[in-house]
Amino acid sequence: MKTIQGPAIFLAQFLGDTAPFDTLDNICRWAASLGFKGIQIPSWDMRCIDLQKAAASQDYCDELRGRVESHGLQITELSTHLQGQLIACHPAYDPLFDGFAPGWVRGNPEARRHWAIEHLTWAAEASLRLGLKAHATFSGSLLWPYVYPWPQRPAGLVETGFAELAKRWLPLLNKFDECGVDVCFELHPGEDLHDGATFERFLEAVGNHPRANILYDSSHFVLQQLDYLEFIDIYHSRIKAFHVKDAEFNPNGRVGVYGGYLPWQERAGRFRSLGDGQTDFGAIFSKLTQYDFSGWAVLEWECCLKHPEQGAAEGAAFIQDHIIRVTERAFDDFAGSGVDDAANKRLLGIF
């Protein structure tokens, strides 16, 4: 067995215009002061990384890694959640997702998609130069408007959608394979890959590609009412990244899974800071340890109630307390009788 690494923190929700969140060095210093040991970097934020330069220059990557390590931290993964979303986008969402891309490709979905492909390609090359083994992203979505089967979906619609999604991602999966990096899709509502069944459809469509893997985040499964522990039993061989985020689901006579278009504070399903929700993290860390997950436990803060700085401070200690230092010996070794092949055969009646 292997010990999970951590605690780490995803910087996307914390970066801002004021210190200590305004520069890479400042936010690294802040994260280290809370007890974090790693950072997951949003690759679209120039305050953290120039992705194009990182893809092309080993010197730049060595300098970037050195800056982070000077604060006692490691880079856990790069993230292309925003760019990955734009690999596949249903036209109904074009105006909303245009904000994920620079102004010169807005209003032009095809140009926007090629911009996203370029960034994913750079992310693969940058990850290689930085010595990273996993990459965090979204799949994008062509089918999300049809997630509920009413009106009845025409025959072949879902199959066509996944075939197209696979066609778009396969060259990128091959690129990441060349770089020795796993693509870890965060299974998330709003994405075509949002649960185990949809991941299986995609996996089949890309020929069980070895780089098509999962960023495990149980909070999205709590909100969907999916068994997040059995999910680990089923898909543990594909889980290569881990977001630690709490959630709760409290349905009532007014609202359930779909949320009634209510704001986050009033929904039945809400993201919470670590320890404030309903997630059994003791069981999650135990299962991931049992299945030899050796990646990073990365805090993602998205609580609708608690201040992010409080959530981060509490979250570092929470993750540290849940990391299991694996044992190097069996608990009953003291009672062992040694290895004797002849004695074993006698015990079994083999002569």
Would you state the pLDDT for residue 334? 63
Q: Whole-angstrom Cα distance, residue 35 to residue 299?
A: 12
Burial class (CB in 10 A: 0-12, 13-18, 19+), 87: buried
Give the closest residue to 164 by CA, choosing from 147, 142, 195.
Answer: 142
Give residue limits of the domains in the chain: 5-347
**Tens-digit pLDDT profile for residues 82-103:** 999 999 999 999 999 999 999 9
40: pLDDT strictly greater than 70: yes
- Its pTM stands at 0.95
Q: Whole-angstrom Cα distance, residue 273 to residue 179?
A: 35
Q: Whole-angstrom Cα distance, residue 268 to residue 316?
A: 27
Per-residue tokens: 249: 């689901």
CATH 3.20.20.150 fits 5-347, yes or no: yes
Band of residue 346 on the pLDDT scale cut at 50, 70, 90: confident
- DSSP string of 282-305, one letter each residue: HHHHHHHHHTT--SEEEE----SS
Q: Whole-angstrom Cα distance, residue 111 to residue 104?
A: 9
Helices (H), the chain: 24-34, 51-56, 58-69, 81-85, 94-97, 109-130, 157-178, 196-205, 218-224, 228-235, 281-290, 308-322, 341-347
Per-residue tokens: 83: 């760019």
123: pLDDT strictly greater than 70: yes
Mean pLDDT of 313-334: 88
Mean pLDDT of 70-92: 98
Per-residue tokens: 78: 């790069």
